[in-house]
Structure 1
């Protein structure tokens, strides 16, 4: 038996998923003191976009709101791709596409010049996985990929259950 949903319910699910992903990232960084790498920072952007799409969708006419929620699919695919890319870097399958994930490029002839060219804050290498659950060898990048896949599945199920009367 298929239960009908409202567009605002699906939008709320998308907003909640975005805040959950960003909340875990914030908690890991600010409460656990684990600095993010460049790929980690890029992985946060699709979740921000999802929150915006989820907020905007119920404010639009139903047809446009539905179309706005369908835009969440490619955004979630980007989140999935970034997480898979990060997991591949962690597993040393390929190098990171971002230069900030590699060793700092120090230039200069004198010690003072080299010191001045160093970054102010050392960055975390992208190939150093962060494990949140002790004893479980699943990194945050892999957790992000699984979460994005689950949210994508939930979004598609929710969009399929929106009341037909709301499809106008």
Structure 2
């Protein structure tokens, strides 16, 4: 694959994952805070991809790889929270103390629906959306790295042996 096609595939992959996330949201699966965290690096990767198509050199593809790696790592962290492998200190994992509130206080609040990060809202083959994001984003890291290597090769930049 050429540098351009690798960048298009990598940035397009992030755009597709974002589109899928928004589709699930439209279908009634609101995102938890950690789901939002996973989206931000994809937005960055799409922007980097647009820039990398007009600018030369390996720097932007390497930044794209870092963005994809970041969202993949957040997906792994989110998967661990969903599966109970570890806990993180965030307001979306439950365990809060509501003992100080009366029943009337709880019923009188008009809070939006709270989506918990430690609950799997949807899965396919036992793999949650956070896990799928981690997997697909890891593939995008590989595409970005290949694009960076192709950029370095096309400029005559080689690694010392």
Give the alignment's TM-score, normalised by structure 1.
0.78
Q: Alpha-carbon deviation of 1:130?
A: 2.8
Residues in 2 aligned to 1:132 and 1:151: alpha-carbon distance in whole angstroms: 21
List runs of 5+ in structure 1 lacking aligned partners.
none
Corresponding residue number in structure 1 for 2:23: 27
Q: Does 1:47 pair with 2:39? A: no
Supply the RMSD in Å over aligned alpha carbons: 2.7
For these two proteins, the number of residue pairs brought into alignment is 157
List runs of 5+ in structure 2 lacking aligned partners.
none
After the TM superposition, list the runs of 4 or more consecutive aligned residues in structure 1 that deviate by more than 6 angstroms: 107-112
Corresponding residue number in structure 2 for 1:92: 84
Corresponding residue number in structure 2 for 1:144: 133
Higher RCO, 1 or 2 (CA under 8 Å, sep at least 6)?
2
Q: Deviation per CA, 1:92-145, whole angstroms, max 9, x where unpaired?
A: 1122332233256669777776666x4621211111113343xx1111111111
Residues in 2 aligned to 1:110 and 1:98: alpha-carbon distance in whole angstroms: 24
Q: Map of 1:1-168 to 2, 5 A cutoff?
A: 5-6=2-3, 8-30=4-26, 32-60=27-55, 62-63=56-57, 66-102=58-94, 118=109, 120-133=111-124, 136-162=125-151, 164-167=153-156
Give the alignment's TM-score, normalised by structure 2.
0.81
Q: 1:9 to 1:102 in 2, by over 3 A?
A: same
